[in-house]
C-alpha cells in the first residue's frame, strides 16, 4: 500500500460541473485527497460506506459548526447524520498524521478495540484565488441516540485544567476538564481489564510516535431521568439560557429519545441493546466524588479510589483524541516556560514518555474494577 505522504490526488470542481463532478453554487475550487488508497482501506476497516461518506461531507446538507476556534485556531463541524466530525488543521498537523500513517494503520488493524481517533480522510480545498483549507474527517465519539449529559476532556495534568464556568452555568454542551471531574467510573471486570490493556497499547503507540498532549474524551449518559433532574440536567431546560440552532436541534432530538428511553429504560442491558464495544454504549456505574480541588490526592502514587459516594447507572462513550501534536521545539519551549511558573509534572506539555505514564496512571484511577 502507498503510504507516501506525497501521494495525493487533485480534482477540479468548476461551478458548471464536469463529467466527473456535479454542478454547484460556489466558486471554482480544487479538492485534494491525501493518501486516498490508505484512507479508503481505513474507511473499509471502520465499516464506513463510501457513498455515505462522500454524501455526508460533500452533500447539499450544511455542516453544523460546533464552536468558534479555540486556542488551536481550528474549526469543528458535524455532518448532518452526526457520524463524522470535521476539523480544520494546520499544515504541521497534516504532516504529523501522514508521517505516522503507516504505524497508525498497522495499529488499528491489529487492535480493533483501539481507542485512538478514527481517521477517515485528509483533504484540502483551494478556491480559485483563495487560500488552502486543510481538514481531517474523524469519527464522532458521541454519535448516539442517547443524550450526552456530561462530557470531560481529561489529560492527567492539573495546570490550567478546569473550566472557567461557575458550577451553575455548566450545561450539557460544556466540556469539563481534569479538575472538574467529580466521578469515578466502575466497569465490569472484563471491560475494565480490556480498557487497561488497550490504553497501555495505545499509549505505547503514541509514545513511539513522539505524540503528547492527547486527551481522553468521556461522554456520560445517566440512565435514570431523575438523576439528570437532581443534577440540574432537566431535559426541558438548557441551563445556559442560550439556545442556538445547533443546541436546539440536539435538545429536541434528546427529548424525543428521552421519551423512548422512559418506555424502555433497560434497553442497554437487555436483549435489544445497541452494539456495545470498548468506548461505545458501555454500561457502567458512576460514583459521585467531590470536585477535584485537591488534585494531588488522585494522582499521587499512594492515592486510593474514592468510595461510598452516590452511585448512578450510566452509559459511557470515550476515546483518545488530539493525537496530532508531536513533541517539537515549540512544545519543548512551552514546557520550559511553564515549568518556571508551575510544577513541571503538573503541566500538559511534557516529554511523550512522561506524558504516557502520567496519562495511564490517571486513567487507572478514574476507572475502577466493579467488584
Domain positions in the chain are 8-139, 150-369
Q: Extract the residue ranges of the chain whose pLDDT is less than 70.
A: 1-2, 5-6, 60-62, 67-72, 158-162, 225-274, 291-308, 327-349
> At 367, phi and psi to the nearest 5?
-110, 135
Whether the CB-CB separation of 324 and 211 falls below 8 Å is answered with yes
Distance CA 114, CA 189 (A): 18
Run of H or E residues at 40: helix 36-45
| 220's grid cell | 456520560
pLDDT for position 134: 95
Q: What is the CATH number of domain 150-369?
A: 3.30.810.10
Run of H or E residues at 196: helix 189-208
Task: List the end-to-end C-alpha distance of the chain, in Å, as a whole number.
Answer: 46
Name the H helices within 209-244.
Answer: 225-230
Whether the CB-CB separation of 295 and 289 falls below 8 Å is answered with no
Residues 6+ apart with CB under 8 A from 177: 152, 153, 154, 155, 161, 162, 163
Looking at the chain, which runs of residues are DSSP E strands? 8-13, 29-34, 64-67, 76-78, 84-88, 119-127, 133-139, 150-154, 175-176, 183-187, 215-222, 282-288, 311-321, 367-369
Q: How far is CA 93 from CA 49, 51, 70, 89, 90, in A?
A: 26, 27, 16, 6, 5
> At 153, phi and psi to the nearest 5?
-110, 110
Say which CATH superfamily domain 8-139 falls into. Phosphatidylinositol Phosphate Kinase II Beta (3.30.800.10)
Distance CA 245, CA 235 (A): 17
3-state secondary structure at position 69: coil
Q: Which residues of 57-71 are buried (b: 16+ CB within 10 A; e: fewer)?
A: beeeeebbeeeeeee
- pTM confidence score: 0.79
pLDDT for position 5: 64
pLDDT for position 161: 66
Pairing of strands 367-369, 29-34: unpaired
> At 338, phi and psi to the nearest 5?
-70, -25
- What are the DSSP calls for 116-144, one per residue? B--EEEEEEEEETTS--EEEEEEE-TT-S
pLDDT tens, 175-195?
898 888 989 999 999 999 999
pLDDT for position 78: 92
Amino acid at each position: 500500500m502507498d503510504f507516501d505522504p506525497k501521494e495525493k490526488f487533485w480534482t477540479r470542481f468548476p461551478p458548471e460541473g464536469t463529467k466527473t463532478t456535479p454542478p454547484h453554487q460556489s466558486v471554482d475550487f480544487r479538492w485534494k485527497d491525501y493518501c486516498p488508497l490508505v484512507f479508503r482501506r481505513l474507511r473499509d476497516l471502520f465499516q464506513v460506506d463510501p457513498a455515505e461518506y462522500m454524501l455526508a461531507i460533500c452533500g447539499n446538507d450544511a455542516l453544523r459548526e460546533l464552536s468558534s476556534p479555540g486556542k488551536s485556531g481550528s474549526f469543528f463541524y458535524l455532518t448532518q447524520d452526526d457520524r463524522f466530525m470535521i476539523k480544520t488543521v494546520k499544515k504541521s498537523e497534516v504532516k504529523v498524521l501522514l508521517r505516522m500513517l503507516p504505524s497508525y494503520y498497522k495499529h488499528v488493524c491489529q487492535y480493533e478495540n483501539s481507542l485512538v481517533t478514527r481517521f477517515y480522510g485528509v483533504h484540502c480545498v483551494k478556491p480559485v484565488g483563495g487560500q488552502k483549507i486543510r481538514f481531517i474527517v474523524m469519527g464522532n465519539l458521541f454519535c448516539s441516540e442517547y443524550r450526552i449529559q456530561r462530557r470531560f476532556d481529561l489529560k492527567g495534568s492539573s495546570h490550567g485544567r478546569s473550566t472557567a464556568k461557575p458550577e451553575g452555568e455548566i450545561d450539557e454542551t460544556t466540556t469539563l476538564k481534569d479538575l472538574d471531574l467529580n466521578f469515578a467510573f466502575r466497569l465490569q471486570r472484563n471491560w475494565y481489564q480490556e480498557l487497561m490493556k488497550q490504553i497501555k497499547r495505545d499509549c505505547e503507540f503514541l509514545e513511539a510516535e513522539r505524540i503528547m498532549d492527547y486527551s481522553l474524551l468521556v461522554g456520560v449518559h445517566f440512565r435514570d431521568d431523575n438523576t439528570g433532574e437532581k443534577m440540574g440536567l432537566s431535559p426541558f431546560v438548557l441551563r445556559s439560557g442560550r439556545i442556538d440552532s445547533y443546541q436546539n436541534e440536539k435538545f429536541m432530538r434528546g427529548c424525543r429519545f428521552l421519551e423512548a428511553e422512559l418506555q424502555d429504560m433497560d434497553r442497554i442491558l437487555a436483549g435489544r441493546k445497541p452494539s456495545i464495544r470498548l468506548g461505545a454504549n458501555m454500561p457502567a456505574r458512576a460514583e459521585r466524588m467531590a470536585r477535584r480541588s485537591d488534585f494531588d490526592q488522585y494522582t499521587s502514587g499512594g492515592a486510593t479510589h474514592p468510595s461510598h459516594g452516590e452511585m448512578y447507572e450510566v452509559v459511557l462513550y470515550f476515546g483518545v483524541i488530539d493525537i496530532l501534536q508531536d513533541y517539537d521545539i515549540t512544545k519543548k519551549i512551552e514546557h520550559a516556560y511553564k515549568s518556571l511558573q508551575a510544577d513541571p509534572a503538573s503541566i500538559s506539555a511534557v516529554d511523550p514518555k512522561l506524558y504516557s505514564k502520567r496519562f495511564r496512571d490517571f486513567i487507572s484511577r478514574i476507572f475502577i474494577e466493579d467488584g
